[in-house]
C-alpha cells in the first residue's frame, strides 16, 4: 500500500523552513527519502531504519516514529537548490513510494 505524503506542494522563500510528512498503515523496515528534479532521476537523501531514529544531512534531517509508522523530513533555512519533488519510500515486503511533495523555493 502506498504511503501517504503531505503536503502535496509547498512554496517557500529562501531561508524558510519546511516539513514533509509520510505515513504508512503497515509496520515498516525502513523509510527512504529521495529528491527528484524535473526531468531527472530521483536522488537518495537518507534512510531511516526502524527503531525511531533521526538523521541529519547538512540542513536536511528526518525522523522516523516507529510506533506511528510516520516519518518527517525537515528542511531548514531552505536554499534555491532544495526545489524539487520529494518522495518518501517505505520498505516492508517491497518498496512503495508516496505521491511526492513538490517543493518550490523562491528568492
The reply on whether position 102 binds other proteins by CB under 8 A is: no
Instruction: Mark the segment that binds other proteins (CB under 8 A) among 6-14, 42-50, 57-65, 68-76.
Output: 42-50
What are the helix and strand counts (H, E) for the chain? 0, 11
Instruction: Mark the segment that binds other proteins (CB under 8 A) among 14-22, 41-49, 56-64, 65-73.
Output: 41-49
> How many CB atoms sit inside 10 A of residue 87's CB?
22
Q: Which member of 66, 96, 102, 104 binds other proteins (CB under 8 A)? A: 96
The reply on whether position 99 binds other proteins by CB under 8 A is: yes
Phi, psi of 81 (to 5 degrees): -70, -10
The reply on whether position 4 binds other proteins by CB under 8 A is: no
Instruction: Mark the segment that binds other proteins (CB under 8 A) among 16-24, 43-51, 60-68, 75-83.
Output: 43-51
Whether omega for the bond prior to residue 21 falls within 30 degrees of 0, making it cis, is no
Per the DSSP assignment, residues forming a β-bridge with 46 are: 33
d(CA 48, CA 38): 25
DSSP 2: P
Give the residues lining the site for other proteins (CB under 8 A): 2, 29-30, 32, 40-44, 47, 49, 87, 89, 91, 93-100
Amino acid at each position: 500500500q502506498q504511503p501517504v505524503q503531505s503536503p502535496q506542494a509547498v512554496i517557500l522563500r529562501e531561508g524558510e523552513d519546511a516539513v514533509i510528512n509520510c505515513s504508512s498503515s503497515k509496520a515498516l523496515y525502513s523509510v527512504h527519502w529521495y529528491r527528484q528534479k524535473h526531468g531527472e532521476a530521483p536522488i537518495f537523501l537518507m534512510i531511516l531504519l526502524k527503531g525511531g531514529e533521526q538523521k541529519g544531512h547538512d540542513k536536511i534531517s528526518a525522523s522516523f516514529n516507529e510506533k506511528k509508522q510516520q516519518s518527517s523530513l525537515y528542511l531548514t533555512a531552505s536554499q534555491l537548490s532544495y526545489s524539487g519533488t520529494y518522495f518518501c519510500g517505505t520498505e516492508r515486503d517491497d518498496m512503495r513510494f508516496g505521491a511526492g511533495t513538490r517543493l518550490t523555493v523562491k528568492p
